[in-house]
Structure 1
Amino acid sequence: MNLNFLTETFGRFIHAHGMGHHFRRFSILDTVFGASADKELPSALSDHLQQASAAAPDVLLRTLESRHDGLTDIESGIRQQQYGLNVIDQQKALPWWQHFWSCYRNPFNLLLTVLAIVSYVTDDMKATIVISAMVALSTVLRYVQEARSNHAAEKLKAMVSNTATVMRHDLAEEAAADARKYFDVQLHPHGARRVEIPMKLLVPGDVVALSAGDMIPADVRILTARDLFVSQSAMTGESLPVEKFPEDQGPPSANPLELDNLCFMGTSVVSGTATAVVLATGARTYFGTLAERVTATDRGPTAFQAGVNKVSWVLIRFMMVMTPAVFLINGLTKGDWLEAFLFSLSIAVGLTPEMLPVIVTSTLAKGAVVLSRQKVIVKRLDAIQNFGAMDVLCTDKTGTLTQDKIFLARHTDAFGKESEKVLQYACLNSYYQTGLKNLLDVAVLENMNNRALDAVTGRYQKIDEIPFDFNRRRMSVIVEEKDDGHLLICKGAVEEILAVCSEVAVIDGTEKLMPDLLTQLKTVTGQLNGEGLRVVAVAAKHLPPDKVTYSVSDESDMVLMGYIAFLDPPKESTAPAILALKENGIEVKILTGDNALVTAKICREVGLPVTGMKLGAEIETMDDAELAQVAQQTTVFAKLSPIHKERIVRVLHQQGHVVGFMGDGINDAAALRAADIGISVDTAVDIAKEAADIILLEKSLMILQEGVIEGRKTFANMLKYIKMTASSNFGNVFSVLIASAFLPFLPMLPVQLLVQNLFYDISQIAIPFDHVDQEFLQKPQHWDPSDLGRFMVFFGPVSSLFDVLTFALLWFVFAANTTEVQAFFQSGWFVEGLLSQTLIVHLIRTRKIPFIESRAAWPMLLTTASVMLAGILLPLSPLGSYFKFVSLPLAYFPWLAAMLLAYMVLTQLMKNWYARRFTWQ
């Protein structure tokens, strides 16, 4: 068993089943299947699975106190209380105190705590109190915001929960109890019903119905199966689906994953149908047992997280260099090494971006809540950044460009003439098939009224079926009319049906399918496709009544009966949505399994320019390098298999694009996983929803476009804080170095510098709620941490220039140039430094002229105005003397106003030059 795949897939599975915000991905390979024997799968679980595999179905059901038609509602409820929810234990919410600890435990808070302890040891109680207040502010804000976002996330996840189809026994409870009391048998009365319930409500003994696209909801034993193929790649690494049977077909195996009649939570059905009985749920499953036995390790960082980490380390390294420099310069120039040490600690605090975790969490959480109001559910918060960065959207045609309301437009013979017989055959096929559920079958059945449908189906009895799969692209049912032999009816894609036909139905019988006739038939289907109709071929074959089960090999030497053609009109909203996506820098590519002619016509109708078209057969002959070149230049890819879709997404990603893929079928799962941002819909099959990062509650490109805009707003607001913090911190330390080298006293006392940092932190709390300029939303935004250092170097010295001018003003104009009047100097620089720092919030938040061309949101205006007012009043208040401030004369404030105005003008000029030279992110 190749267990390398377990690590990644366990994380995907956790996301799909609604794990809490604090869950960390497990490294199953490293921590479970190590060298030591005690790390192996528990023998009790292995024995349990082996026994369930070996037992006869009736015996197993009796052991589980179940029956072929499942449990009753009351039995299920009783077992629910006994076994609990079908979820992995680790997804339970953390206790409040563990959550609070996790909010505190980040590198910045730990660093500040160390600095607070040092301040306490050196008897600097004021610094200790202020630093502690900063830590408390950061921790409490993050705790409150995460608690709110977790609560909102649970509501959102409940909107897209996966379901399972269970059999419900309808025998009255009293009769069932009496039967079990007096008879050692299980009764199977008629009237069992199928019910869709959330997967988390499954219990051992439930009998579930499985079909293509379903997730295996628990560990199950197969009871019945028809061509059932299950993808176990997540568990075993096998690239091809594995066929499953009611009985184990292979030699005895100690590895439960190799048993042919067992399926496991986390795998998925590729094709076929089955019924199965639930053996274990939640933590008792194979997956759940692994989860209980592993030690949690930090999840590998995403590209977004890596970018945030890189920024953090840039600031931390900067602090580690500048803090000792400040300490040495002040110690050497002033001779008071203890005071120099305390001052350098304050500088270290000032360089610590302690609000970064709060801003990131708050902004992502707010973005997720806003998106939910726009019918976009975010399963993974980090995906919001990729949502905004997406520059290529790959999507299917059906339901995205079109209305997803398919109706049957034509039913013709092989030569294009209307045929009731073809419609009747199509109805029989759609009525009796139980495999892959799709809108085509619904459209066929809705075309006939109930009386006509009953008249057709009432004459026939189903014998067997050959389920659909994406390789054959067809499916068959076998029916019997009284004792008049068997009739195999097959419908599917035209090419695939023609491949198994040797004759074609004509008015007076059949005719051999010769090349010239084949050309004529393709002309007919081409004309239908040219009208925008999706064509499905129908074929039939009479067989003797001596077989009970049929297989794919029976689909041969068939007679082509004709075609059923469907119309799926384009949505009215598609054309403006495509235009809006284009205007916002997103290129739309169509990846579909449908016919090229139909797809091209729909694209023309919705205004999507088709610059190139490739078919799946052509992609088969290309290597990845060729495909990458073609994918860049091609708009429409038609007649694709699931592997083709995945390859196209992957090569586009390798070309540097941020690729979104939108799909809702089982054939889309691989591409959803390969995309930077997987997008599905609430009505999608389970495996598609499991693979997606974002779920749309409405399948619409317009909804998607609105979500992209919100993703860009979220990213923009996070970037604002990082740029503000980086440039402001660099400028402050640069100013401190200059002042320390030339002043006979400290430019600001340690506690004063800490209070200034605390005020500045408060002024940034409202950043997640700020407006974003329209220009920033018109193109994809990519995370570029390398730009941060350049931004610091250009904008930091601008603030330092005005700090130096303030030093000169205080030294020469107001004569604050001796140690006796140092409090005046320190008070003056405190006010100027705080006001310039707070103004930078408005200056950096936009490329435009602040307050005039771009105004911040009212929460941000309120917090920054309050902080600036508090900074001016603090030296004038009774509290000011506690921090050794003195009142500033009125004559100082006109100078201050002039300097702040000049600072804003110079910063605006620098912004314009920087944007032209390097672009503005």
Structure 2
Amino acid sequence: MNLSLLKELFASFVRSRGLGRHFRRLVMLDSVASTTVSREVPPALAQTLVAAAQSDPDALLQQLGSHPEGLTEAQVEQLRERVGPNVIEQDKPVPWWLHLWRCYKTPFDLLLTLLAVISYLTEDMKATIVIGSMVVLSVAIRFWQERKSHVAADKLKAMVSNTATVMRRSFGQDVVNTAATYFDVQLHVKPPRRVEVPMAELVPGDIVLLSAGDMIPADCRILSAKDLFVSQAAMTGESLPVEKFATLRSTDVGNPLELENIVFMGTNVVSGSATAVVVHTGGRTYFGALAQRVTATSQAPTQFQAGVNKVAWLLIRFMFVMSPLVLLINGFTKGNWTEAFLFAMSIAVGLTPEMLPMIVTSTLAKGAVLLSRQKVIVKRLDAIQNFGAMDVLCTDKTGTLTQDKIFLARHIDVWGEESDDVLEMAYLNSYYQTGLKNLLDVAVLEHTEVHKQLNPAANYRKVDEIPFDFQRRRMSVVVSEREDHHLLICKGAVEEILSICNRVRHGEQDEPLTPELLERVRAVTADLNEDGLRVVAVACKEEPPQKDSYGVADEQGLTLIGYVAFLDPPKESTAPALKALAAHGVKVKVLTGDNDLVTAKICREVGLAAGAIVLGAAIEGMDDAELARVVEAHDVFAKLTPAHKDRIVRQLKRNGHVVGFMGDGINDAPALRSADIGISVDTAVDIAKEAADIILLEKSLLVLEEGVVEGRKTFANMLKYIKMTASSNFGNVFSVLVASAFIPFLPMLPMHLLVQNLLYDFSQTAIPFDNVDEELVKDPQRWNPADIGRFMLFFGPVSSVFDIVTFAVMWFVFGANSAEHQTLFQSGWFVEGLMTQTLVVHMIRTRKIPFLQSRPAPLLLATTAAIMAIGIFLPMGPLAHYFKLQPLPLAYFPILGLILLGYMLLTQAMKGFYARRFGWQ
């Protein structure tokens, strides 16, 4: 054996083991250093795609360390170790500790932690435990609920598994083939085999076999193709598939998506077949680059987050003003600055609605549980309140308003009359075609009665087929009904069929296609289009039986026999769902890439006033000011690209709306992320589900309407707590300021304030489960810090009026007017203050008369009653000494009853005045 043979055998061995170029480079940058590329993706990625498109196939395979018959298992394993799995890194799962931190870092939780630390340093362990418990509970509930939702969403994604067909060859095959050639002997090795592997296991250099219906598993260079049409709609928004070839016909290409011999991960094969080599996998694909751009864009704070933060800082600023004021007044009037400081700290704790994080979280968690029973997975708890605040819902048409299932609505002749002949011809065409049967073919083939009548297997023989392509927009089959002639049946787009017809069928006769008849044909099809139907023309001609092979040139001189018209009908639930959303103040806007005539028909059928439909081409020429007016004046937008959808959503938000967006494609991800609430479905692509806040297990607007109502209930209950706490706490501080200025001792000890605060807070833990008045869920609801501040100023002093009455009663009636009798004074105010604070829960939870016109939830009634009982028990029972309280005289309680009755009457009167002046919510 000579030296050259040894070198060749060794080189083959190295290639078969993948030990060559894979260890030096996996990308080809050297040949395209000066190539002009798109700026939409990293230049290096675009350059490698252009390089792969321009390379000779053999050279490309060599650069990738591959082979026309595929990689060996050993090569695949080595490559997978280097490049990782073929998966898209979307938003990486957040580590539990980082998720916990995000749940914790709210203004209130941080403030409460500071107060807990100060309480600990001042050896006030009771306050430390109380405040710390509030923080731990609120953070734990939010963390647990959101974690559970993320796990459910991950399980949804894990349910979807796709495979790819690849070529695998045996180890040492190159060596054996080279030796057999050199020695001219027959050596047998296992032939390359086709293997179905999970898409995640693909590596660069894999040879992939593609056919109609396949998803493209990675960015690939086509090596061979036959009638290959690929839908890139998920990537580019193009409505029509594009044809791909094995060769690059144009070398002056700037956008990688325009490369004719490159196919991209996330797209799918519509028709034809191909063999391709994998160039990029996972995050190095074009899809991966787009996904990284989407996930790298941080979401702007939603309306809910911004509103909560504004309210939080309003109350915090109020606390920072009032606490120092209390400190100074008590320090100067009492002379004991240490005691004054502890009292001011207690005021700070009392002013802070420490239950807000827990009330908000538990209310949202309750909403998430209720929605999960409606087949809705809530990924972010804040999204529930955004549901309630949403006043504009942007949605697509197909599958949301419609059934996403095509039905054959009509089969008519050229004159618009029903015709069984047309249906039979269309059936034979769909039955015998071998390409991917689209939804229109499936709708035709569902007419099984035609199959029984025609019995194609017994009465017809297929002769040939002229496949569909998107230049001709038609396809033909040739069948032999009797051996004395062949029948060519062609169906396709109306204009394309008319271009090859010179006659029309009228009854049993064929007539020349005159200009007058052509006008009639176009009038009939236009009427069908205006009815929202997709029209496909059917034509035929007879050929002599001698011919066995047919081509595009034979599609001439046909006779137009009629049309089949299809409809994607609206869902039965769509119209009532739209009415329900409208009744709740939610405006639905349709954003679709579909035909404007079809869209208008569907909108009419579901009761949505389409008006003038705005097309994507018109949006291109609009500036932001004009678009701002257009999105307000119009509700239906058609023939949109992904960029149009995203721009419309952003403009609606700038106009002051809380916007929801419902989508399920790659091209919907930017709009999903831009919206206040992104809504997707379990069948959506992963990147859409990643960008969404809520995932529906059922694509229905009725589910959304239920979510809107649940969101508004959630908001109403949160607002109850904030209003009653803010006003009650403000009233307490106002009362403390009055008492501190005129009373020679502290009107209440720091311990009393903290215990009162704890009991009051506990009485409110049932608010998430409270009933909500119907009128509070009719309209969208938003945070309004100014309204909350005004509410505090109106309702806070109401309780202070009766606190001052209590001061007077304790001072003048019961003689608690000196430091020796301060415990009696403090006990009297402790009970009255707790009673009014607890009653305010029921007074402010509704605009109506409490207990009579609006009944609280039984759990809320039970907790408030229990707290009022405990409030009386503490000074009257055996624990009074421990809490530095003392029993009250029995004469105190009738007076207390009158004070509480007066408080309820004045609060109800103030509610009426306030609601008439400013509205209730």
The two structures have a TM-score, normalised by structure 1, of 0.75
> Does residue 136 in structure 1 map to residue 133 in structure 2?
yes
Counterpart position of 2:719 = 719
Q: 1:292 to 1:399 in 2, by over 3 A?
A: closer
Cα distance between partner residues in 2 of 1:270 and 1:725: 60
* Partner SS for 2:832: helix
Counterpart position of 1:466 = 469
Cα distance between partner residues in 2 of 1:69 and 1:485: 43
2:152 to 146, 151, 155: 155
Counterpart position of 1:92 = 93
Letter in 2 for 1:125: E
Q: 1:444 to 1:749 in 2, by over 3 A?
A: same
Instruction: Using the TM superposition, name which of 519-528 and 79-88 deviates more.
Output: 79-88
TM-superposition CA deviations, 1:492-540 (whole Å, max 9, x none): 5x6x7589778664467785573x4443123323554687755344579
- Superposition pairs for residues 542-557 of structure 1, below 5 Å? none
Q: How many corresponding residue pairs?
A: 849
* Partner SS for 1:730: helix
* Partner SS for 1:817: coil
- Superposition pairs for residues 829-840 of structure 1, below 5 Å? 829-840=829-840
Instruction: Answer whether contact 2:619 2:627 (CA < 8 A) is retained.
Output: no
Counterpart position of 2:611 = 612
- Superposition pairs for residues 812-851 of structure 1, below 5 Å? 812-851=812-851
Cα distance between partner residues in 1 of 2:512 and 2:673: 47
Cα distance between partner residues in 2 of 1:556 and 1:321: 88
Cα distance between partner residues in 1 of 2:215 and 2:737: 62
- Superposition pairs for residues 333-732 of structure 1, below 5 Å? 333-393=333-393, 395=395, 399-400=399-400, 403-417=403-417, 418=419, 420=421, 424-425=425-426, 428=429, 439-448=439-448, 449=451, 459=462, 465-466=468-469, 475-477=473-475, 491-492=492-493, 505-506=504-505, 511=512, 514=515, 516-526=516-526, 528=528, 534-537=534-537, 562-567=562-567, 571-588=571-588, 608=607, 610=609, 612-614=611-613, 616=615, 623=622, 656-662=656-662, 676-683=676-683, 693-732=693-732
TM-superposition CA deviations, 1:797-831 (whole Å, max 9, x none): 22222222222222222222211222222222222
Letter in 2 for 1:491: G
TM-superposition CA deviations, 1:338-361 (whole Å, max 9, x none): 211221122222222333333333
Cα distance between partner residues in 1 of 2:414 and 2:295: 63
Cα distance between partner residues in 1 of 2:666 and 2:459: 31
Counterpart position of 1:773 = 773
Q: 1:409 to 1:821 in 2, by over 3 A?
A: same
Cα distance between partner residues in 2 of 1:274 and 1:565: 29
The two structures have a TM-score, normalised by structure 2, of 0.75
Instruction: Answer whether contact 1:220 1:280 (CA < 8 A) is retained.
Output: yes
* Partner SS for 2:890: coil
Counterpart position of 1:753 = 753
Instruction: Answer whether contact 2:831 2:872 (CA < 8 A) is retained.
Output: yes
Letter in 2 for 1:307: G
Q: CA deviation at 1:311?
A: 0.8
Cα distance between partner residues in 2 of 1:49 and 1:620: 32
Counterpart position of 1:325 = 325
Instruction: Answer whether contact 1:534 1:566 (CA < 8 A) is retained.
Output: yes
Q: 1:424 to 1:704 in 2, by over 3 A?
A: farther
Q: CA deviation at 1:310?
A: 0.7
TM-superposition CA deviations, 1:704-731 (whole Å, max 9, x none): 3222222222222222222233222322
* Partner SS for 1:459: strand
Q: 1:547 to 1:140 in 2, by over 3 A?
A: farther
Letter in 2 for 1:94: P
* Partner SS for 2:847: coil
Structure 1: runs of 5+ lacking an equivalent? 1-40
Counterpart position of 2:123 = 125
Counterpart position of 1:898 = 898
Cα distance between partner residues in 1 of 2:693 and 2:262: 29
Q: CA deviation at 1:141?
A: 3.9
Cα distance between partner residues in 2 of 1:347 and 1:555: 89
Q: 1:221 to 1:611 in 2, by over 3 A?
A: closer
- Superposition pairs for residues 201-212 of structure 1, below 5 Å? none
Q: 1:446 to 1:388 in 2, by over 3 A?
A: same
* Partner SS for 2:882: helix
TM-superposition CA deviations, 1:103-128 (whole Å, max 9, x none): 4444333333333333444xx323x4
Counterpart position of 2:865 = 865
Q: 1:149 to 1:692 in 2, by over 3 A?
A: closer
Instruction: Using the TM superposition, name which of 109-118 and 80-89 deviates more.
Output: 80-89
Q: CA deviation at 1:914?
A: 1.6
Q: CA deviation at 1:885?
A: 2.4
Q: CA deviation at 1:304?
A: 1.6
Counterpart position of 1:914 = 914
Cα distance between partner residues in 1 of 2:502 and 2:720: 69
* Partner SS for 2:412: strand
Q: Which has the larger radius of gyration?
A: 2
Cα distance between partner residues in 1 of 2:86 and 2:873: 58
Q: 1:747 to 1:525 in 2, by over 3 A?
A: same
Cα distance between partner residues in 2 of 1:898 and 1:603: 61
Q: 1:479 to 1:167 in 2, by over 3 A?
A: farther
Cα distance between partner residues in 2 of 1:328 and 1:242: 77
Cα distance between partner residues in 2 of 1:411 and 1:814: 95
TM-superposition CA deviations, 1:619-652 (whole Å, max 9, x none): 6799576776676566766787777777776666
Cα distance between partner residues in 2 of 1:254 and 1:576: 49
Instruction: Answer whether contact 1:478 1:487 (CA < 8 A) is retained.
Output: yes
* Partner SS for 2:856: coil
Instruction: Answer whether contact 2:395 2:591 (CA < 8 A) is retained.
Output: yes
Q: 1:88 to 1:757 in 2, by over 3 A?
A: farther
Cα distance between partner residues in 2 of 1:721 and 1:320: 21
TM-superposition CA deviations, 1:198-254 (whole Å, max 9, x none): x87888759596999x997766666677454747989xx999999987677887999
Instruction: Answer whether contact 1:50 1:256 (CA < 8 A) is retained.
Output: yes
Counterpart position of 1:5 = none
Instruction: Using the TM superposition, name which of 413-422 and 366-375 deviates more.
Output: 413-422
- Superposition pairs for residues 205-354 of structure 1, below 5 Å? 226-228=228-230, 230=232, 299-354=299-354
Instruction: Answer whether contact 2:378 2:693 (CA < 8 A) is retained.
Output: yes
Instruction: Answer whether contact 2:535 2:564 (CA < 8 A) is retained.
Output: yes
Cα distance between partner residues in 1 of 2:81 and 2:716: 46
Q: 1:506 to 1:649 in 2, by over 3 A?
A: farther
Cα distance between partner residues in 2 of 1:893 and 1:80: 80
Q: 1:666 to 1:286 in 2, by over 3 A?
A: closer
TM-superposition CA deviations, 1:827-879 (whole Å, max 9, x none): 22222222322222222222122222222223333333333333332334554
Q: CA deviation at 1:306?
A: 0.8
Cα distance between partner residues in 1 of 2:380 and 2:686: 17
Instruction: Answer whether contact 2:502 2:557 (CA < 8 A) is retained.
Output: yes
* Partner SS for 1:883: coil
TM-superposition CA deviations, 1:367-396 (whole Å, max 9, x none): 223122113333444333332233344555
Letter in 2 for 1:107: P
Counterpart position of 2:17 = none
Letter in 1 for 2:322: M
Instruction: Using the TM superposition, name which of 373-382 and 817-826 deviates more.
Output: 373-382
Q: 1:918 to 1:581 in 2, by over 3 A?
A: same
Instruction: Answer whether contact 1:403 1:568 (CA < 8 A) is retained.
Output: yes
* Partner SS for 2:881: helix
Cα distance between partner residues in 1 of 2:255 and 2:594: 41
Q: CA deviation at 1:443?
A: 0.9
Q: 1:475 to 1:725 in 2, by over 3 A?
A: farther
Letter in 1 for 2:123: M
